[in-house]
A = this chain, B = another copy of it.
Amino acid sequence: MAGSGLGNIFRITTWGESHGEALGVVVDGVPAGMKLSEEHIQAFLDRRRPGRSRYATARAEADRVEILSGVFEGVTTGTPVSLMIRNQDQHSSDYADLADVFRPGHADYTFWEKYGVRDYRGGGRASGRETIGRVAAGAIAVELLKSLGIRLTTYTRQIGPVNAMVFDREEIAKNAFCMPDAQAAKEAERFLDQCMEERDSAGGVIECMIENLPAGLGDPVFEKVDANLAKAVMSIGAVKGFEIGDGFAVAAQRGSQNNDAFVRSAKGRGVEKTTNHAGGVLGGITDGSALVFRAAVKPTPSISRPQKTVNTHREDTMIEIHGRHDPVIVPRAVVVVESMAALTLADALLMNMSARMDRIVKFYEQL
């Protein structure tokens, strides 16, 4: 079943394995007339690049993006934008001994069970490298949103037991964890050092805030913007939970606490909320407040401690995973989460254009 496509009007199709020839994405439905260059996509892609700190793998890959179609003289033409990143420095031999054993916490067993064959090199399609296509496409979606004044800010809220307690936007780019709290980043560092010493790994929580969204995005009842965000974000390999606004905390709240009061304002149609427990979405449709959601990221399953497992011959065995593995993938996943959000919202923006007959008539009268 075709499962590598996402989106309705603005639609991506990703492809590629960790140690195959290349990875890439076809971005279909990109509006014509947007400025687009490899430099721009590259800058975004570099945010997910390994090697930025000792908490990320040393794989020195350039991950250079090539635009293969859809752009002419620096401008999108409305036809599919095909992006490719060649694989280099693949160290396939690192994985030869994993050919017939299932790594705990990985998709080795499920792919083998489903398909009967699998590309075991570095996890194949189930590798974190699969997200390259998402991020390359995300760069275009972010640009589309920017043209409309929409801003995305994504950061780490939690690493293991360490929570960001303050929100300092400037700080996010300054530490290795993308945390908006310098003090918390220092504590996370200490925690990570300990994990590495113990040949173990850590998880965390990523938060994304999207400001200046118009009210009205999202379509009842299954194309709710939060439902689509949930799918997009939960489709990232290591994500095990998604919540919007107050999220799981709503379970212990009263209605009187959770409801956001409306008041007159100078913005939009003159209505805003005094609080934002809802996270910017009511009934699946944006309400003009900041959209805020969080994703829970599990600890890196590849740890070098010995672990019990079985092999393809159904024999009990032990596994020790060597090679390059991040003790925490949260910081590198930040831009992946932002990409999935941008892709979902770009699609919602275009879908919303056909919601009202009066606006459709006006649109065509103005051509």
Instruction: Establish whether residues A22 and B68, one from each chain, have CB atoms under 8 Å apart when the complex forms.
Output: yes
**A-B pairs with beta carbons under 8 Å apart, 18 shown:** A1-B29, A20-B68, A22-B69, A31-B354, A32-B355, A109-B271, A111-B220, A116-B358, A158-B251, A203-B250, A226-B234, A230-B242, A241-B242, A258-B301, A259-B307, A261-B308, A353-B353, A353-B354
Inter-chain contacts of A364 with B (CB < 8 A):
148, 214, 349
Q: Mark A1-15, 1 if CB is under 8 A from B, else 0.
A: 111111111110111
Q: In the complex, how many angstroms separate the beta carbon of A124 from the nearest chain B beta carbon?
A: 7
> Which residues of chain A in 316-351 are interfacial with respect to chain B, using CB atoms and an 8 Å cutoff?
316, 349-351
Instruction: Establish whether residues B4 and A114, one from each chain, have CB atoms under 8 Å apart when the complex forms.
Output: no
Inter-chain contacts of A269 with B (CB < 8 A):
113, 314
Instruction: Establish whether residues B125 and A296, one from each chain, have CB atoms under 8 Å apart when the complex forms.
Output: no
Instruction: Establish whether residues A296 and B220, one from each chain, have CB atoms under 8 Å apart when the complex forms.
Output: no
Inter-chain contacts of A69 with B (CB < 8 A):
15-17, 20-23
A3 to B224 Cα, complex, angstroms? 8
A263 to B109 Cα, complex, angstroms? 12
Q: In the complex, how many angstroms separate the beta carbon of A19 from the nearest chain B beta carbon?
A: 9
Closest 7 CB pairs of A and B: A107-B283, A3-B219, A241-B243, A3-B223, A201-B255, A2-B11, A231-B231
Q: Check if A33 is an interface residue, CB within 8 A of chain B.
A: yes
Q: Mark A263-303, 1 if CB is under 8 A from B, else 0.
A: 11000111100100011011111111000000011111111
Inter-chain contacts of A300 with B (CB < 8 A):
255
A205 to B251 Cα, complex, angstroms? 6
Q: Check if A82 is an interface residue, CB within 8 A of chain B.
A: yes
Inter-chain contacts of A281 with B (CB < 8 A):
110
Q: Check if A64 is an interface residue, CB within 8 A of chain B.
A: no
Q: In the complex, how many angstroms separate the beta carbon of A30 from the nearest chain B beta carbon?
A: 9
Instruction: Establish whether residues A361 and B148, one from each chain, have CB atoms under 8 Å apart when the complex forms.
Output: yes
Most interface-central of A110, A204, A271 (chain B CB within 10 A): A110
Q: Mark A187-200, 1 if CB is under 8 A from B, else 0.
A: 00000000100101
Q: Check if A78 is an interface residue, CB within 8 A of chain B.
A: yes
Inter-chain contacts of A16 with B (CB < 8 A):
68-69, 80, 82
Interface window among A39-47, A48-56, A98-106, A178-186: A98-106
Q: Check if A360 is an interface residue, CB within 8 A of chain B.
A: yes
Instruction: Establish whether residues B32 and A303, one from each chain, have CB atoms under 8 Å apart when the complex forms.
Output: no
- Using A29-B1, A31-B354, A248-B248 as known contacts, say yes or no to A107 and B221 having CB atoms under 8 A apart: no
16 further contact pairs, Cβ within 8 A, besides A15-B68, A198-B254: A2-B10, A3-B28, A4-B26, A16-B82, A31-B354, A68-B84, A72-B119, A77-B115, A77-B119, A79-B119, A114-B355, A214-B364, A224-B234, A226-B234, A227-B232, A264-B310
> Which residues of chain A in 64-81 are interfacial with respect to chain B, using CB atoms and an 8 Å cutoff?
66-70, 72, 75-81
